[in-house]
Structure 1
């Protein structure tokens, strides 16, 4: 097939145009690296990685697109993808869009009922399913999916599972063969489909994982997603010579937007969504860019602290000293850069930092692969103390901000002007303003057209002049840097009339306590604040073993009085820096960590506050049994 040339220096009309323009510009350059399917289950040391050039990728994408056409898929028809992040996800997504159709994203962890709701609500006519487990969900809810006709499996068994009547099941390889044959007969089929795509056309329906209620399908256009590429490159987040490690779920807009950026610049993307392989993959891939959610950076920090503790008292003291130096160095150089335009620190601090680098920081950078230029954090707030720690270590974490409703990032910190504690300044062509009640409003080419089949809810968040009401509270400084205060719906008032931003308190505690995994601050219409705290098993169990609890289970450890006293010291440390009405008066250690499987976390690891408060209502009530403030 012919390519569809469009200048990649300008905003293309669609992601499909952007993709084939990249192929035309650099056909022989490496595009993607991914673990070979034949060895997905072996040990990391034996893992093999394969490579696709842009030209090779385009041939497979065109075959997928043409294959979908043979199934009767046409412009703006919805096609689902229910899979972990992997190379086939990207091929399927690009193939869907190059056929003129639109992708419906489904997290692989989504249960059968909600999977059926998403596929039915979107009107999906076909779905790419990762394996038999995903197919089984579809078969189990077949009667709820009258419009679904085809399932394409990434990982197929030796013999295909007998599907429900009227459901055509085939493998990805079969679909590509059908597509290649179709292109032999109709070589212009995909070209013509791409040429017909307009910028305002539906590209993707992403269903918000939602911390409350049913997920909503967010209508994202081709121009909005394509703009993400130019915006990321224009903000110097990514360069053409980068190697980016992508493990984030592609069902989330954050990862989806990163693909647009990668296509725009043409850099290499190493793709492997297996979270348990992140640590093993980093020294193999040696990325220069990696995006993650704050929970990953918290786990890395806590893991480093736990290892230092396990190595003995002397090494733990060295780590704590080095961590303090890192934070002080980052704060000092940042303040100097803002004031004078040049990052500098006193000689004594520079000497301490240099020594700490040899003893501690260099090893941390090596664990990230040794050449990480930018780490990008989004989806939830990153505690400033963690931001200063990593900046001082030499792993620059650029916090950004965006929503599904903005096609990904809208605001982000720049490497040359990082301001920790903020989410940076707007990406090119985006605008931000703060409403009278403190709510953040955004406007730009990435803003959604609305929620699918929900005109009333769309009207609630989209103003007539194009602004999106984000539901977040924030403030802008004189230089245009945005700081997120809290979710508007999470902000609560105590019975004493004082407002509390729970994420501020939670972030401070996560930064102070190396044993915490999740924390939920409670206090709405109560006369004081309390907290539910879940500990990080990997961090607390070694401590417990050193303190006479080597044979105790996790559930036994969290009920131990010594552990409670340990956490109490961190609670008091955090309370010392808070206003009186923000302080945590009582806390309860949960018997297990919060997780996606129990519905307490979204797939992007955000806490579903109503679910947690409902499930642990008795524990919360017990903390308020005495109505007098402690």
Structure 2
């Protein structure tokens, strides 16, 4: 069912949802990875009305907050949207947060209701140390002393006027709280308004068109604003169909089944996809390997020339057409990315070589940059204007400048309302002129393209006073060696750079299968001579791409894996550098002996 763009800009995401549901009542809005459960827009709207009524019966009122701790399931969208329609504010909690961390969020948000799954109930009850939370609602079955989603939907509230409630939500109303996962200190609650998110989507609409027929996969945490915006808010505002995948390990299967037209991934996912293709190619005959290698090389060269604004010779153009017909289109189809119109990479810088590789496959991937405090993306590369190694230019209506110390500052309608109950932190982040101090060091060229150097507090300054970007070094390694899962570069106030590596479990499984090894665990393979030789070759290849002062002189492959939300990684897979330095102090010192 096709419809014309809305002529009137909605003033809230409630209004956007109601307009979308009215225009596409029979179109599927939400679905699980195998197609069940699924909800048409009419069913979605009906469920939201009933749940909003039930939440009101439980005492939820305009201005309240409601916590959501769910995996990526369709019920997340039902619950979040229903809360919005009561005039209250939903917020998501990372599934990996400890009871202590959750307790901090409860105290800051002041919620009395939690929507969750049975697997998280014990943790949430342990977090409810002061008894503030009165109601636990489980989407996957009954729980003692709580409600099921169906039970909430069946509650009545005779005095509740559903239409009046959602119409009372205005542009300056609080849309959500997003708690930063934080590499240091307790999470801060970023307050975003409906106006913030509507401005974000209005700006992105000025870069490329999003259609109601588009399909997206929601597999990253909804507590991370990038996924919440790309999946959930994209659904409410633009009408895209969302497939929710609760287990990220099922992403590859979901890609093949859903064949998304829009796709979001953090760099770690792109590195895994790149490694997966290289593994498939490695198992082919020598002739096929040569042909595929040639095709990818041709595609990558075209991507680099387009990025550098260099002409494409006619012979290369012919080769690219042949590579596309014979190899590249088939590779995209095997990945389930053959129908992607636009893919986004963000959250952290992607290694330029990996970006060129993905573009070389014919996947239109656009690197962007932003933060929770800027309502997700503040900059983005554009169709026909991709520059590898940059995060593009400022979105329409957004200003980006560089402070004297190199820090990037952002100003515009995307900037958060502030940190919840923390005026001091808010004042420190947003100056008197409205500039958000991002904490990222970057540069802006004459054409407005922005390059991210690194986080201001994470730059390595060696003993000789040389500034280096650790993420640049780490990215070079992960591009050069598929076996490396996580990498952290060490070198602050040191004479040379060292590194700690962990192995990727999926890559280890593939390596063990190829070499007939009985034990594929990273703990065992971290000591395997063959694996260590592959890692050494990868480090040497990475060093060739790095300046001499950035090159890794020594490293250790740790016999452990680092999981998102653990001691070493945040839920969005950013490195917790200080905790890592403390936990692995002995291993680091051994590298400098």
> Which range, TM-score by smaller chain?
over 0.9
Query: TM-score of the superposition, structure 2-length normalised?
Result: 0.94
Aligned equivalent of 1:230, options 195, 198, 202: 202
- Candidates 119, 135, 138, aligned match of 2:121: 135
1:38 aligns with: none
Structure 1 residues 547 and 172: alpha-carbon distance in aligned structure 2, compared to 1, 3 A threshold? closer
Deviation at 1:31, TM superposition (A): 2.1
Q: Do the aligned residues in 2 keep the contact of 1:12 with 1:223 (CA within 8 Å)?
A: no
- C-alpha separation in 2, matches of 1:9 and 1:447: 26
Corresponding residue for residue 503 of structure 1? 471
Cα distance, 1:107 vs structure 2 = 1.3
On the 8 A contact 2:73/2:246 being kept in 1, the answer is yes
Structure 2 matches for 1:86-235, cutoff 5 A? 86-130=73-117, 132-142=118-128, 144-157=129-142, 160-161=143-144, 163=145, 169-178=146-155, 181-182=156-157, 185-186=158-159, 189-235=161-207
The CA deviation at 1:82 is 0.4
- The equivalent of 1:620 in structure 2 is 588
Listed as ranges, the gaps of 5+ residues in structure 1 are: 1-6, 36-46, 164-168, 626-630
Cα offset, 1:11, TM superposition: 4.5
Query: Could you say what secondary structure the match of 2:32 adopts?
Result: strand
2:424 to 456, 468, 492: 456
Relative to structure 1, the CA distance from residue 581 to residue 147 in structure 2 (aligned partners, 3 Å threshold; closer, same or farther) is same
* Separation of aligned partners in 2, 1:360 and 1:535: 30
Question: Residue deviations 1:558-601, cap 9 Å, x none?
Answer: 22334323222222222223222111111111112221253211
Q: Which of residues 50, 72, 80 in structure 2 aligns to 1:85?
A: 72
Q: CA deviation at 1:270?
A: 2.2
Residue 310 of structure 1: how far off its partner (Å): 2.9
Provide the rounded CA distance (Å) in 1 between the counterparts of 2:523 and 2:560: 7
Deviations 1:99-137 (A, max 9, x none): 11011210122222212221222111111012x221111
Indicate whether 1:75 and 2:48 are aligned: no
Cα distance between partner residues in 1 of 2:125 and 2:587: 39
The question of 1:374 aligning with 2:359 is answered no
- The answer for the alignment partner of 1:44 in structure 2 is none
Deviations 1:209-234 (A, max 9, x none): 11112111111112112323323323
CA contact (8 A) 1:79 1:103 kept: yes
Q: Does 1:327 align with 2:312?
A: no
How far 1:548 sits from its partner (Å)?
7.1
Which residue matches 2:395?
A: 427
Question: What CA distance in whole angstroms lies between the structure 2 residues aligned with 1:551 and 1:128?
Answer: 40
1:26 to 10, 24, 27: 24
CA 1:50–1:171: 2 relative to 1, 3 Å: closer
Q: Is the 8 A contact 2:488 2:501 kept in 1?
A: yes
Report if the CA contact (8 A) 1:228-1:261 is conserved.
Answer: no
Residues 239-284 of structure 1: CA distance to partner in whole angstroms, max 9, x if unpaired?
2331222222211111221232332222322222321221111222
Q: Give the conservation status (yes or no) of the 8 Å contact 2:504–2:522.
A: no
- Secondary structure of the 2:176 match is strand
Q: Do the aligned partners of 2:337 and 2:363 also contact (CA within 8 Å) in 1?
A: no
Report what 1:12 is aligned to: 10
1:487 equivalent among 455, 458, 468:
455
In the alignment, which residue of structure 2 is the partner of 1:280? 253
Give the stretch that moved more between structures: 234-243 or 431-440: 234-243
Q: Is the 8 A contact 2:512 2:519 kept in 1?
A: no
Alpha-carbon distance between aligned partners in 2 of 1:377 and 1:10, rounded to the nearest angstrom: 31
Deviation sequence 1:355-408 (CA, Å, 0-9, x none): 433443222211225311111111111111111111111111111111111121
SS at match of 1:49: coil
Counterpart of 1:302 (choices 264, 267, 275) is 275
Distance 2:242 2:531 in 1: 43
In the alignment, which residue of structure 2 is the partner of 1:40? Answer: none
Q: CA deviation at 1:410?
A: 1.4
Q: 1:41 is matched with which residue?
A: none
SS at match of 1:576: helix
Distance 2:342 2:329 in 1: 16
Counterpart of 1:205 in 2: which secondary structure? Answer: strand
Measured in 2, the distance between the counterparts of 1:309 and 1:175 equals 53
